[in-house]
Amino acid sequence: MHPDLAAHLHSPECNALIDALKRCHEEHSVRMYMGFCNDMERAMTKCLKQERLERRRLNRIKAKDMQERIRENQKHSSFVPPDQ
């Protein structure tokens, strides 16, 4: 299953591969069932995976920065949690 293939969600390189795959499916409606478009689909999937891994890496960095800012704010906060 692919993620949403909307153009605004992907890089120009992946969009070119997505468009090529869609064209292949339109032009070869029967041959696609025999694997005619598989190479394009594999290339598109590889591109989408690279985008996903990059987003994940950037999100991890962003989350670590956010956690560090929260820890710093807690150090300077006057709030003292009640004993449990």
| Residue 49 structure tokens | 């995976």
Contact 77, 69 (CB under 8 A): no
Amino acid residing at 57: R
Q: Which pLDDT tens digits describe the chain residue by residue (84 residues)?
A: 778 888 888 999 999 999 999 999 999 888 888 889 999 999 999 999 999 999 999 999 999 999 999 888 888 777 666 776
The verdict on residue 81 lying in a domain is: no
Provide the domain count of the chain.
Answer: 1
Closest to 37 in 3D by CA, of 21, 19, 61, 56: 21
The verdict on residue 14 lying in a domain is: yes
Please report which helix (H) or strand (E) contains residue 17, including its range: helix 12-27
The verdict on residue 37 lying in a domain is: yes
The verdict on residue 39 lying in a domain is: yes
A 10 A CB-CB count for 21 gives 22
DSSP state of 6: -
The verdict on residue 3 lying in a domain is: no
Contact 17, 40 (CB under 8 A): yes
Residue 16's domain spans which residues? 8-75
